[in-house]
Amino acid sequence: MPSPKRRIQIVAALIIAGVVALLYSIVVTQELLLGVSIALSSLVIAVFVYYGGTDRKTLTRVTIGVTIVYGAVSLQLPLAIIAACAVYLSAWLTGPDSPFDAPDREIFPVKQTATEDSGGEQ
Protein backbone atom coordinates (compact mmCIF):
# COMPACT_ATOMS: atom_id res chain seq x y z
CA MET A 1 0.00 0.00 0.00
CA PRO A 2 1.43 3.39 -0.93
CA SER A 3 2.40 5.91 1.68
CA PRO A 4 0.03 8.80 2.49
CA LYS A 5 2.25 11.17 0.50
CA ARG A 6 2.05 8.88 -2.52
CA ARG A 7 -1.72 8.61 -2.12
CA ILE A 8 -2.03 12.40 -2.19
CA GLN A 9 0.09 12.50 -5.35
CA ILE A 10 -2.20 9.94 -7.00
CA VAL A 11 -5.28 11.94 -6.01
CA ALA A 12 -3.73 15.17 -7.32
CA ALA A 13 -2.90 13.47 -10.63
CA LEU A 14 -6.47 12.20 -10.95
CA ILE A 15 -7.89 15.67 -10.27
CA ILE A 16 -5.53 17.29 -12.78
CA ALA A 17 -6.42 14.64 -15.39
CA GLY A 18 -10.13 15.32 -14.85
CA VAL A 19 -9.73 19.08 -15.22
CA VAL A 20 -7.54 18.70 -18.33
CA ALA A 21 -10.07 16.31 -19.89
CA LEU A 22 -12.88 18.77 -19.19
CA LEU A 23 -10.96 21.69 -20.70
CA TYR A 24 -9.93 19.61 -23.71
CA SER A 25 -13.50 18.51 -24.36
CA ILE A 26 -14.79 22.09 -24.14
CA VAL A 27 -12.08 23.85 -26.15
CA VAL A 28 -11.00 21.29 -28.74
CA THR A 29 -13.81 18.80 -29.32
CA GLN A 30 -16.72 20.95 -28.10
CA GLU A 31 -18.36 17.93 -26.43
CA LEU A 32 -19.44 19.24 -23.04
CA LEU A 33 -21.25 16.09 -21.86
CA LEU A 34 -18.26 13.87 -22.57
CA GLY A 35 -15.89 16.19 -20.74
CA VAL A 36 -18.16 16.55 -17.72
CA SER A 37 -18.62 12.79 -17.44
CA ILE A 38 -14.87 12.10 -17.67
CA ALA A 39 -14.07 14.86 -15.17
CA LEU A 40 -16.75 13.64 -12.77
CA SER A 41 -15.51 10.06 -13.06
CA SER A 42 -11.96 11.18 -12.37
CA LEU A 43 -13.03 13.17 -9.32
CA VAL A 44 -15.07 10.25 -7.95
CA ILE A 45 -12.09 7.92 -8.37
CA ALA A 46 -9.88 10.50 -6.63
CA VAL A 47 -12.27 10.64 -3.66
CA PHE A 48 -12.38 6.86 -3.38
CA VAL A 49 -8.60 6.59 -3.60
CA TYR A 50 -8.16 9.31 -0.98
CA TYR A 51 -10.54 7.79 1.55
CA GLY A 52 -10.32 4.09 0.67
CA GLY A 53 -6.71 3.72 -0.33
CA THR A 54 -5.36 2.00 -3.39
CA ASP A 55 -5.92 -1.60 -2.44
CA ARG A 56 -7.34 -4.10 -4.89
CA LYS A 57 -10.83 -4.26 -3.40
CA THR A 58 -11.35 -0.48 -3.42
CA LEU A 59 -10.12 -0.02 -6.98
CA THR A 60 -12.29 -2.88 -8.23
CA ARG A 61 -15.37 -1.35 -6.62
CA VAL A 62 -14.56 2.08 -8.03
CA THR A 63 -14.06 0.69 -11.52
CA ILE A 64 -17.35 -1.18 -11.39
CA GLY A 65 -19.20 1.87 -10.05
CA VAL A 66 -17.77 4.26 -12.62
CA THR A 67 -18.54 1.79 -15.41
CA ILE A 68 -22.18 1.47 -14.34
CA VAL A 69 -22.64 5.23 -13.92
CA TYR A 70 -21.01 5.99 -17.26
CA GLY A 71 -23.19 3.36 -18.92
CA ALA A 72 -26.31 4.94 -17.44
CA VAL A 73 -25.27 8.45 -18.55
CA SER A 74 -24.36 7.35 -22.06
CA LEU A 75 -27.55 5.23 -22.40
CA GLN A 76 -25.56 1.99 -22.74
CA LEU A 77 -26.50 0.37 -19.46
CA PRO A 78 -26.71 -3.28 -20.65
CA LEU A 79 -23.21 -3.06 -22.11
CA ALA A 80 -21.96 -1.35 -18.94
CA ILE A 81 -23.38 -4.14 -16.79
CA ILE A 82 -21.59 -6.72 -18.93
CA ALA A 83 -18.34 -4.72 -18.63
CA ALA A 84 -18.77 -4.43 -14.85
CA CYS A 85 -19.31 -8.19 -14.61
CA ALA A 86 -16.16 -8.73 -16.65
CA VAL A 87 -14.21 -6.47 -14.27
CA TYR A 88 -15.55 -8.36 -11.25
CA LEU A 89 -14.83 -11.74 -12.82
CA SER A 90 -11.28 -10.79 -13.80
CA ALA A 91 -10.62 -9.36 -10.32
CA TRP A 92 -11.93 -12.54 -8.72
CA LEU A 93 -9.98 -14.86 -11.02
CA THR A 94 -6.71 -13.02 -10.46
CA GLY A 95 -7.23 -12.36 -6.74
CA PRO A 96 -6.01 -14.28 -3.70
CA ASP A 97 -9.31 -16.16 -3.27
CA SER A 98 -9.57 -17.36 -6.85
CA PRO A 99 -9.90 -21.02 -7.76
CA PHE A 100 -6.69 -20.76 -9.77
CA ASP A 101 -4.68 -19.68 -6.72
CA ALA A 102 -4.89 -23.15 -5.17
CA PRO A 103 -1.71 -25.25 -5.32
CA ASP A 104 -1.68 -28.10 -7.80
CA ARG A 105 -1.56 -30.71 -5.06
CA GLU A 106 -5.03 -29.67 -3.89
CA ILE A 107 -6.61 -29.90 -7.33
CA PHE A 108 -4.75 -33.04 -8.39
CA PRO A 109 -3.34 -35.02 -5.45
CA VAL A 110 0.39 -35.55 -5.79
CA LYS A 111 1.87 -38.94 -5.00
CA GLN A 112 5.53 -39.17 -4.15
CA THR A 113 7.61 -41.33 -6.44
CA ALA A 114 10.43 -43.67 -5.47
CA THR A 115 13.05 -41.34 -6.98
CA GLU A 116 12.11 -38.50 -4.62
CA ASP A 117 12.27 -40.80 -1.55
CA SER A 118 15.64 -42.35 -2.41
CA GLY A 119 17.42 -39.12 -3.34
CA GLY A 120 19.84 -39.18 -0.39
CA GLU A 121 20.43 -42.98 -0.27
CA GLN A 122 22.43 -45.08 -2.70
Q: What is the pLDDT of residue 102?
A: 54
Q: Which has more pLDDT, 115 or 11?
A: 11
Q: Which has more pLDDT, 5 or 98?
A: 5
For range 90-101, the mean pLDDT: 74
Phi, psi of 93 (to 5 degrees): -70, -25
Q: How many folded domains does the chain comprise?
A: 2
Residue type, 61: R
* 59 and 24 housed in the same domain: no
* 36 and 78 housed in the same domain: no
12-38, pLDDT tens digit by residue?
888 888 888 888 888 888 888 888 878
Q: What is the pLDDT of residue 103?
A: 55
* 5 and 41 housed in the same domain: yes
- Nearest residue to 42 (alpha-carbon basis) of 73, 8, 69, 19: 19
Q: Is residue 30 part of a domain?
A: yes
What domain range is 77 assigned to? Answer: 55-94
Alpha-carbon torsion (37, 41, 47, 51), positive or negative:
positive
Q: Is residue 47 part of a domain?
A: yes
pTM of the model: 0.50
Q: Is residue 86 part of a domain?
A: yes
Alpha-carbon span 82 to 99, nearest angstrom: 22
* 1 and 49 housed in the same domain: yes
pLDDT mean across residues, the chain: 76
